[in-house]
Each structure stands twice: as C-alpha cells, then as structure tokens.
C-alpha cells in the first residue's frame, strides 16, 4: 500500500475514553500483533476471499480466542471490555479477522459460559480457547430480522434429536469446529419451541454448504449449513429445551457491542490512513491537509469516531458491571455502524481517484464497513429496540 498509517501506538492519539493501564497495555499488544501477523496477509486474503489458517493459529497463540474464558479452562479470564478492545484493534487492520474473533468471544464462548452445563464447559471451553473456532447458527432464508421464524426442525426422539433443514449466512462456518445451532422442536409453540444445540463439525447428517461471495469482509467465511437427519444427543442441548430464544436474545445483545467495536476499528483504520494521506498528497503546491475544507472533513471524521468509541466502550463497561446494557448496546451498534460507513466514505473522497483503487486501503475499509448496518440486527431493528425501551 502506498499510503502509510499513523503511529501504531494507541497512546499517541488523544483518547476521550479512559482505559486502565492493563487495558492500554493489552490494546497496544494486540495492535502490534495485528500489524505484524495479520497486515501482511490482508490483501491476499481479501482477493482470494479466504482466511489463512496460519492467521487463525496465531490468534489462538496470542490468547485472543478465549479472552473471557476462565483460566481453569485455558482462557485469559479477562473481561468483555478486553474482548471488545481486541476486536477493535484487529478491525483496524482487517474486518474479516476481527469478526472471526468477535463471533468466537462475544457470541459462542459467551453463550457457553452462561448457559452450558459443567460437563459441556469442561468439554468445549479448553478447545475453544486453544484450537477450535466457533460459529453461531441462527439465521435462515425466512428468518433474518424476524429471528425466530425458524424452520430448521428438531424432532425429539427421546435420547436424541433429529435435525432437518438448513441455515444461511453463518459466519466462521468454514473454519468452525463447533456450532451453536438454533432449531424449533415444536413450530406450534412459536419462539417457545426454539432450542439451542451444540453441534460438532463432522457430525453425520451435517455439512457446510455454499460459501457466499461477498462485497466486504471477504476473507470471513459466510456459508450455508445443511442438516439431514442429523442425530444430536440430548446431552448436546445448550440450556433448556424450548429456551433457545432466551439464549439468542441475550447473546445477541452482547454481540452487538462486539460489532460496534468492529465498526469502530474499521473507522479508525480509515481515519488513520486518511490523516497520513492528506499530509503527503500535494495539490496546488501544498499538502491538501492545509486546505480548510479538507481539515473540516477530517474533523468530522474524528468527531464521529470518538462519539462511536464513547458509546461502544460505555456499553461494554455496563455489560461488565452487570448493569442493564441492552439499550446502550443497540445505540452503540447503530451509531458505530453509521459512523463507520460515513468515515470510510469520506476517506475515499479525500483520497480522490486513488481512493477508488485497490492500491490504497480505504476502498476495502468502505466495503468492510457496510455489513455493520446489516448483521447481528439491522439498523432498523436497533431503532426498534431503542424506541421500545424509551416508550416502555
């Protein structure tokens, strides 16, 4: 890439949100890791639409795939805020790797920590912290925003269930060894029939189907899942039978903060690239950053970025402290995803014709940012959540 980014030291930029010394040290370590171990592969992974296995391996070696997992099961025993910091810093380099990390920590591992039996935790958490990637399988062709219109059927056979149907748009599907799969055991009960299952890769009757060819986060695998008389023992039910809807709602509320962190990182990467570029690109005999019109646009980017950061960090802090964070999570995802699209689009504008080419980084940041307003709850769904809470 022709345009360099600004300093890689997080403390070199003004921070409106106070982090502890441990958090700052962790943030800097993850940023250095992303620069050294992920950045060299970003272009190739995007072009091939494929995640390099060595990058995933490095995430495990760095201890980033089990951030909240207690030390007794091989994790770091850290906080949700730390997980969000990691997602943000990885996204600053690559949105695809960051969403793999995000789904692992804020969705799959979080759900297991909260809902799994002791036996299930002992079985899966050490693997999730050391070698297994997780996937969260909720969406179907008929259930996007209407998340509970599930048609994947789970037939109760006493000591096991038979799963039949399919899932769509499942992140991490190609890399995953463990899937949290939501199915309906009784469609007449509506959402009260939904049950969550822990399904391992290689289970007979289960296979990963077509991989989507996407606009952005191209290295992140998004695939169809196929189930045909897939036999799942009752011991693999996550939580209670018929209570899958509760697991889905509570986990997604947390996951939205993670997506907000991803959008924050993407926006940060675009902002840093733009700030460096406008100080080196000359027109009319001087750097374009000396023109007031350009300065004002950079100021708009910076303001939106910091507002998003405050909202995301606040939501993460509320979650860690055990306080009600649902409305804050919806606001953080809504605002951060909009800010990311705005900031990455302005970045292309300020790069001019260069911004429209793949030689420079900002077109990829823009492509990666768009998904933030779609997955883990569209912007309209976040607005609906906020409005309901304000009027309740």
Catalytic residue ranges: 376
Contact 266, 364 (CB under 8 A): no
Question: What is the residue-wise DSSP string for 32-75?
Answer: HHIIIIIGGGHHHHHHHT---HHHHHHHHHTT-S-SSS-GGGTS
Q: Give the Cα separation of 214 and 219 in Å (integer).
A: 9
Question: What is the residue-wise DSSP string for 197-240?
Answer: EEEETT-TTEEEEEEP--SSSTTS-EEEEEEEEEEEEGGGEESS
Phi-psi region of 124 (alpha: psi -120 to 50; beta: other; left: phi over 0): alpha
Contact 190, 242 (CB under 8 A): no
H helices of 92-141, in order, are 95-102, 110-115, 118-130
In angstroms, the first-to-last Cα distance of the chain is: 50
In the chain, the DSSP E strands lie at 133-137, 153-156, 160-171, 176-184, 194-200, 206-211, 222-233, 237-238, 282-283, 286-287
Cα separation values, 32 from 27, 35, 36, 62, 271, Å = 9, 5, 6, 11, 18
Retrieve residue 160's tokens.
């096991």
Q: What are the two backbone dihedrals, phi and then psi, of residue 254, each rounded to the nearest 5 degrees?
A: -70, -40
Q: Give the Cα separation of 220 and 49 in Å (integer).
A: 7
Q: Give the Cα separation of 241 and 192 in Å (integer).
A: 9
Bridge partner list, 181: 137, 197
Q: Give the Cα separation of 172 and 100 in Å (integer).
A: 6
């Amino acid at each position: 890439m022709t345009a360099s980014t600004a300093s890689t030291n997080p403390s070199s930029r003004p921070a409106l949100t106070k982090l502890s010394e441990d958090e700052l040290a962790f943030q800097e370590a993850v940023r250095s890791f992303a620069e050294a171990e992920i950045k060299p592969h970003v272009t190739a992974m995007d072009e091939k639409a494929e995640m390099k296995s060595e990058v995933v391996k490095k995430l495990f070696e760095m201890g980033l795939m089990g951030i909240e997992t207690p030390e007794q099961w091989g994790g770091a025993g850290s906080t949700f805020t730390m997980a969000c910091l990691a997602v943000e810093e990885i996204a600053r380099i690559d949105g695809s790797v960051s969403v793999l990390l995000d789904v692992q920590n804020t969705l799959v591992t979080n759900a297991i920590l909260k809902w799994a039996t002791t036996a299930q935790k002992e079985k899966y958490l050490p693997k999730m912290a050391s070698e297994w990637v997780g996937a969260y399988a909720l969406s179907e062709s008929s259930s996007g925003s209407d998340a509970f219109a599930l048609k994947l059927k789970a037939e109760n056979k006493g000591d096991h269930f038979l799963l039949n149907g399919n899932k769509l748009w499942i992140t991490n599907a190609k890399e995953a060894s463990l899937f949290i799969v939501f199915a309906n055991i009784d469609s007449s009960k509506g959402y009260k029939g939904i049950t969550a299952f822990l399904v391992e890769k290689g289970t007979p009757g289960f296979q990963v189907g077509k991989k989507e060819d996407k606009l952005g986060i191209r290295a992140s695998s998004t695939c169809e899942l196929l189930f045909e008389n897939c036999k799942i023992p009752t011991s693999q039910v996550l939580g209670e039978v018929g209570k899958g809807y509760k697991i889905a709602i509570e986990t997604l509320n947390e996951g939205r903060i993670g997506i907000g962190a991803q959008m924050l990182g993407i926006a940060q990467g675009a902002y840093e690239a733009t700030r460096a570029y406008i100080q080196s690109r000359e027109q009319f005999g001087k750097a374009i950053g000396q023109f007031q019109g350009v300065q004002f646009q950079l100021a708009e980017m910076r303001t939106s970025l910091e507002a998003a950061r405050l909202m995301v960090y606040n939501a993460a802090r509320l979650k860690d402290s055990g306080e009600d964070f649902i409305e804050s999570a919806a606001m953080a995802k809504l605002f951060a995803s909009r800010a990311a699209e705005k900031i990455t689009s302005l970045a292309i504008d300020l790069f001019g014709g260069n911004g429209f080419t793949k030689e420079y980084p900002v077109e990829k940041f823009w492509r990666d940012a768009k998904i933030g307003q779609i997955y883990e709850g569209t912007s309209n769904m976040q607005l609906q959540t906020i409005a309901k809470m304000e009027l309740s």
